[in-house]
Amino acid sequence: MNVVRKAVLPGLTVVAVAVAPGVAMAAGPAAAAAAPPRGPAETAYVADAGSVTVTPINTATNKAEHAVRVGGDPQAIAITPNGKTAYVVNHGAGTVTPIDTASNKAGPSIKVGPGPRAIAITPDGKTVYVANSGSGTVTPIRTATNKAQPSIKVGLGPRAIAITPNGKTAYVVNRGSGTVTPIDIASNKAGPSIKVGAGPRVITISPSGKTVYVANVGPGTVTPISVATNKAGPSIKTGKRARAIAITPSGRTAYVANAGSDTVTPVTTASRKAGSPIKVGRTPWAIAITPDGRVAYVVDHRSGAVTPINTATRKAGAPIKVGQRPMTIAITPDGKTAYVANTGSGTVTPIDIATNEAGPAIKAGASPWAIAITP
């Protein structure tokens, strides 16, 4: 989808943030009490792949609101920068459904290509890009009209997409081709594909906008790409089945979740060197970093837990029990709460970031798959 950016796709970071060196992994109760009060409540939108619905959750009360009917097998979701519209990718239906966040009403579905998997929205909020895995294309949608534009040919099985902070280029991960295709946003023209590793699955872009990082499941590597030249640098070895990646807001460190090694590898971006792997739970599947950069939260899919990593010390804390087969994670813009979608339980678990304690599970359909939170 995937982002993030607000788009949260399986394995695709859709919400990542930064780290202050030398701070404890979780603030204590005193620090929490001194924090400024939360502003107007954001809404977490949860796409349920097991049904045809999206469940809005009020983040102030952690209460689920009435589910919104969308299309078949919704698997990805992204929210416009102004927070007014959530766009839901319906993998089974080959459509995208816009939801008005003020009313939580769905608009008419927009036809894209077969098997859409991922979504990203330009920083100016004018264009939505949808990667269609079944046709090897990307469909742009103008948000002013909710009309799809002519599809853009990319590689085989496009699975993830990310847009540079300056809004000039969209990078599309083609899992079947082992490539990344850059799209010029001004012209909607695809450039020459860039060879990366086998089975690339997720992508993120440094906060500076200078480097794209692609995690390759097959060889367990990360490939950096220069945005200035669209040339790939030497791949960085991380661990088996590199499945997710997130970068601190400072841009100094990328954290890579290795689903086959049960580890997370920190990569120093300046030197492009991998650090010592950090042991987490079984099958780390997704990762998100708090807005202050202090903690990386790792979703351990087969453990039913989330492991917090102190980014200053690179030490893992005690796992936080969530639901069965957790899939994705998103963090509120104020950095107070992480929300974890548990596909096996049909629930979302909120985690208080100040205490690293899980709150009561929130029912969110049959198989919640992706989460995005309003800005």
Per-residue pLDDT tens digits for 145-173: 999 999 999 999 999 999 999 999 999 99
Q: Which helix (H) or strand (E) holds 32?
A: helix 29-34
In angstroms, the CA 355 to CA 52 distance is: 34
For tokens 């089975």, the residue is 199
pLDDT lower than 50: segments of the chain: 1-39
pLDDT of residue 8: 39
Q: Which candidate, 71, 59, 65, places its Cα nearest to that of 106?
A: 71
pLDDT of residue 12: 37
Q: Within a 10 A sphere around the Cβ of 146, how many other Cβ atoms?
A: 17
CA angle 86, 92, 94 (to 5 degrees): 65
The pair of structure tokens assigned to 345 is: 């339980």
